[in-house]
Amino acid sequence: MILLFLVVLIVLSAYSVFTRDLLHGVIALSAVSLVSALLFYILQAPDVAITEAAVGAGVSTVVFVWAIRSTERKKRQ
Amino acid sequence: MSPDRFIFGVVMLPLLGAAIAFIAKAFGRDRWTKGLEYLGAFVGLGLPWVVMVATLPLVLEGGALEGVVGLWNPAVGIFYRFDGLAWMVNLLGFSVAGAAWIYSLGSGPKGPAFTAVFLIQTSALAATSMTADIFNLFVCLEVMGIASYVLIASSDKPGSFLAAFSYLMVSGTAMVFFLLGIYGFYRLTGYLSYQGIATGLASLPNFGGVTGILSLALITAAVAIRVAIMPLYGWLPDSHALAPHPVSAVLSGVLIKTPLFALSRVLLLLPLGAQAGELMGYAGAITALVAVVIALAQKDSKRLLAYHTVSQIGYVVAAWGAAIAVGVHTSLGALLMAGAFLHALFHALFKGLLFLSVGTATDTAGERNVYQLRGAGRILGRAGERFPVTTLTFFVAALAITAMPPMNGFASKTFLTYGLKGTWQYSLLFAASLGTMASFIKLSRIFWPPKKSTLTEPVETNPDKPMDPVHPARKIAQGLLALACIGTGLGAPALFALTTELFSSGPRAAGTTLGALARAPQLYSVDTLQTTLWILIGGIMVFLGAGTPWGSGLLRVVRERPRSFRGLFVSFSLGVAGLSAWLLFI
Amino acid sequence: MTPRRVFSALWSILPLVISLVAVGAILIPIFLESTPWPVEARNHLEDQGVAESGAQNLVSAVYLGYRAFDTLGETIVLLVAVSGTIGIIARAKGALAKGFDREDKGSPVPAVALAAGTTSLSAPPPRLRRAKTRTDLLEVVTGKLGPVVLVFGFYVMLYGHLSPGGGFQGGVVIASGIVFLALGGKEGASTRLTEAGVLARLEAMAFFFLVLAAFLGMFMGSGFFTNFLAGVGLPSVGFIILLNIIIGLKVGAGIGFMGIAMLSRVEGAKGEEVNHD
């Protein structure tokens, strides 16, 4: 179970680094946070899990999306 | 009240001041805001001096305040240690920060939010100087970092956001590796305090083996990024050149040295710390020379100063590293350490003054290009500066940085190079002095009278244009720093004695006595004055050489060398790898 | 692909590869370390943690008791980050935040007024306009959910010494509650809690009390950051509850403030015009 989560983590982080679309990257990052929150919970660190879920998956994603929304999309060159 | 109760005043009073300033911002009614803000600044920058004075007798006796914050159990709590080293670093921080804050009243960004962040930065400096816990050091560096990113971004220069952002990214990345280094030590020993880690490592076979070495390398390299020595300096020039002037003064003067002296506590306690210090010292000597060559090539006056910061910190690190390598309990080590600290302190004063006075001159003239701006003194005169404070203070600082007697730079460079005499670092530092001299001749041209023939004088073309008068706060701050430069120059031998005295309680493990170890070298001997003369002549020749077509071509290549965002990260990983390899295979 | 192109592609990723190899070679030995885990701190916490700090939740005991000084530092990081973000948001509009004012006082753009946190005192708080980007669904759901989230945030904050959670976590949840209320607030139905000025004051006061709590130990306890409540005869867990409340309010107000500033900027920028994308 833990191993599966770890593999998912690596795949999602690599996706968020290499994707061309910032929004996709942010969503992948938020998924990374969610999976790591689950992982922390399984590893019996509920405090860290709550923080990770609230900050990583919640607030930081929202902040990133807002930041991206106030930029403009350029046509691909 | 015993000193160990109020010693945290140096950290908490600036924070209290910051809290007052934040309240002033949030509850802003026009009448009260200013008063509250100034009250906050007084609490944060004035009251800590009371604590400093109150602890001076204790520190002078060679005592140190040690303990756990909040008196919690030492197995988990945070250790601190306030000793001569911490006292000296606080002296450095509060004097430059105080002058810079006064200057900020007359320039650049101001207001309660600026004051609050500025005070938080000062508080982080004090906290860094006295922490003896490696995780707490991490937190202090983070607070210091975030305050400086915000302060850099508060400048209205174009590009300041980008400069703050690249600083944020690089040092954020470095701090992740710092954290991994902490993990390595905690994994091995189960302690976070320096002393706990040192004893824990000593009880392990082979001092913790590869993990111990690599953790040390990660921590050292992450701090080296903040100190900006050679492979890791790339973030500095942009951020220091684009920050508001008072912030530049604090960043260059204080902020990059505090982590260095905090690191010396770690390196002096841990096994292999001496070797890590040795390599950093070598890097520092190389930095001193390379950075000054780049500085000589710059057009922008503040960027030139920023590269000089890298170069001067190279001097400090060269002596500091050599001191750590031989051990500060030896007489040579004590001499080098005191020299390094004095140069750090004096550099804070004169570089702060340089940033402020050049800032005033370039702001008034509206031109920062060294090749364009001429006759800054006259422009300042037209802006209502009857007595040429800015011009005079600039020349005081320039004489100090080029190590002309009787300024403070002369004293500290003499002490510092005296201990290095006969090594290859000494030749590099000597060559760097020539470059410093040459580039300050170049920079001082902004105060030369304008040439009649040149057409490129944007300010001189309309002499009737009304100018903003130079704010008195700027003059006061510059005057204070200039007096400090001259005063510390004249009193340098006494200060040197005081520093060695204070360091005897300083970063070493307690127990060994310093005795009458480091005797101050003769300051005004035939030998030192001869060296100064050679530097003067050599510097003028380098300056003339740089003006020739061949020289300026070379400088253009240096100026337009490729620099990239990615390069910052590559150089960090190479720096870590190099340091690890050095520690593993030495 | 010609060999030349392949070569140049390889050359451009060479620094990346070298960095990854270097960093990997350094980190792997640290992760593979096989000495037995040290147990001293763990044993100490297990045996005496509850007795020394009074908190059932040992995580709270560590970060608000043993290492409260670190927590203060991290709180400051958040505080400075929020105030820096507000400054940048406000200046990105072409005007300057009031906290960082220079000559230009800035035009009263909604975003600036919000971000400054002070101008909204005199002027009525700018309502978040109903823009094309918002839907009924969003408004109904967030509006109904907001109070529930707020209550949960306060629960996490107040019970931090007993169950997982605490000031930081609770504060973030409170901040999401505040943002939910702001998103769901219909015209005229918003609470005072979504006004930037109120949040800015709340944050400043909470920070002030946090510093004060650390200071009081010097005079009423036995030193800096000691438990001053124990000094006046209250149960020692009171200190941790107090710090949890202060930190929770500070974090909640700070992040909520930032969220509302960003929200109004996004709404202000996107509200009038049709989406580009």
Give residue C67's domain range: 56-271
How far CA B182 is from CA of B4, B205, B222, C180, in Å, comes to: 27, 19, 11, 38
Q: From the CA of C133, how many Å to the nearest CA of chain A?
A: 11
What's the total number of domains in chain C? 1
- Residue B475 in 3-state DSSP? helix
pLDDT digits (tens, 9 = 90+) for A8-24: 999 999 999 888 888 89
pLDDT for the residue C190: 58
Q: Which of C172, C266, C276 sits opposite A59 (nearest CB)?
A: C172
- pLDDT for res C195: 78
pLDDT at C134: 62
Residue A16: predicted pLDDT:
92
Which DSSP category does C99 fall into? G
Statement: residue B39 has pLDDT above 80: yes
Residue contact C270–A55, C-beta within 8 A: no
User: Is a pLDDT exceeding 60 seen at residue B527?
Assistant: yes
pLDDT above 60: residue B203 = yes
pLDDT at C103: 34
Asked if the model's pLDDT at residue A56 lies above 90, the reply is no
- The pLDDT assigned to B506 comes to 46
For residue B508, pLDDT over 60 is answered with no
C222 alpha-carbon distance from chain centroid: 31
Q: What are phi and psi of B79, to 5 degrees?
A: -85, 145
| pLDDT score of C261 more than 70 | yes
Q: Which residues pair with B131 in a beta bridge?
A: B80
CA distance C84 to C71: 20
**Residues of chain C found within 8 Å of residue A72, distances taken between Cβ atoms:** 276
Taking all residues of chain C, what is their mean pLDDT, rounded to a whole number?
75
A69 CB neighbours in chain C (<8 A) are 266, 270
Which residue of C88, C117, C225 is in closest CB contact with B69?
Answer: C225
Interchain contact B112–C (C-beta under 8 A): yes
pLDDT recorded at residue C206: 92
Q: Are C120 and C197 in contact (CB under 8 A)?
A: yes
pLDDT-above-90 percentage for chain B: 19
For A14-28, B503-517, C239-253, which range has the lowest pLDDT when averaged over its residues? B503-517
pLDDT digits (tens, 9 = 90+) for C90-146: 776 543 333 333 333 333 333 333 344 333 333 344 444 444 456 778 778 888 888
Alpha-carbon torsion, ordered B274, B279, B285, B288, to 10 deg: -110
pLDDT at residue number C160: 85
Q: Which of residues 352-371 of B touch C (CB under 8 A)?
A: none
Q: What is the pLDDT of residue B499?
A: 81
Tell me the DSSP string of C110-145: HHHHHHHSSHHHHSPPPPPP--TT--HHHHHHHHHH
Predicted confidence at residue A4, as pLDDT, reads 93
Q: To the nearest whole percent, how much of chain B has pLDDT over 70?
A: 93
The pLDDT of residue B138 is 95
Torsion of CA B165, B168, B170, B172, to 10 degrees: -150
B227 CB within 8 Å of a chain C CB:
no
How long is chain B? 586
Euclidean distance between CA atoms C142 and C183, whole angstroms: 6
Q: Does residue C168 belong to any structural domain of this protein?
A: yes
The pLDDT of residue B119 is 93
B327/B301 Cα distance (integer angstroms): 39
The three-state DSSP-derived secondary structure of B285-309 is HHHHHHHHHHHHCCCEHHHHHHHHH
- Is C60 inside any structural domain? yes
Asked whether A and B share 3 or more beta-carbon pairs under 8 angstroms, the answer is: no
Interface of C with B in 197-226 (CB under 8 A): 197, 200-201, 203-205, 207-208, 210-212, 214-215, 217-218, 222-226
Which residue in A49, A62, A70 is closest to C259 by CB distance? Answer: A62
Sign of torsion over alpha carbons B414, B418, B423, B425 = negative
For residue range B127-145, list pLDDT tens digits in order.
999 999 999 999 999 999 9
State whether B573 and C23 contact (CB < 8 Å): yes
Q: What is the mean pLDDT of residues C176-190?
A: 74
Burial class (CB in 10 A: 0-12, 13-18, 19+), B29: exposed
Q: What six digits make up the tokens of C201?
A: 């004051």
Q: Alpha-carbon distance B479 to B353, whole Å?
A: 9
Statement: residue B477 has pLDDT above 90: no
Contact C170, C158 (CB under 8 A): yes
In degrees, rounded to 5, the angle at the alpha carbon of residue B70 between the alpha carbons of residues B67 and B75 is 65
C88: closest chain A residue by CA: A67
Instruction: Judge whether residue B466 has pLDDT over 70.
Output: no
What's residue C144's pLDDT?
84
Identity of the amino acid at B250: V
In the stretch 3-32 of chain A, residues with CB closer than 8 A to chain C read none
What is the average per-residue pLDDT within B407-422? 84
CB B263 within 8 A of CB B217: no
Secondary structure (H, E, C), C32-57 = CCCCCCCCHHHHHHHHHHHHHHCCCC
The whole-angstrom distance between B455's CA and the closest CA on chain C is 32
pLDDT of residue C108: 36
Phi, psi of C181 (to 5 degrees): -60, -40
Q: What is the mean pLDDT of residues C196-201?
A: 85
Average pLDDT over residues C196-205: 87
pLDDT band for position B18 (50/70/90)?
Answer: very high
Query: Which chains pack against B, by 3+ Cβ pairs within 8 A?
Result: C
Between B578 and C120, residue with greater pLDDT: B578
Lowest mean pLDDT among B21-25, B333-337, C185-189, C226-230: C185-189
Q: Are B96 and C52 in contact (CB under 8 A)?
A: no
Tell whether the model's pLDDT for residue C268 goes beyond 70.
Answer: no
CB contact under 8 A, C262 and A49: no
- Per DSSP (E only), the strands in B457-570 are none
Residue A26 has pLDDT above 90, yes or no: yes
Q: Are B117 and C83 in contact (CB under 8 A)?
A: yes
C120 against B360, higher pLDDT: B360
How confident is the model at residue C147, as a pLDDT?
87
Better-predicted residue by pLDDT, B308 or B110 = B308
The residue in chain C having the minimum alpha-carbon distance to the alpha carbon of residue B210 is C29
How much is the pLDDT for B380?
Answer: 80
Query: Complex ipTM, two decimals?
Result: 0.87
**Using CB atoms and an 8 Å cut-off, which of residues 140-199 of chain C contact chain B?**
197
Asked if residue B451 has pLDDT above 80, the reply is no
pLDDT tens-digit map of C32-84: 888 888 888 888 888 888 888 778 888 888 888 888 889 899 999 999 998 88
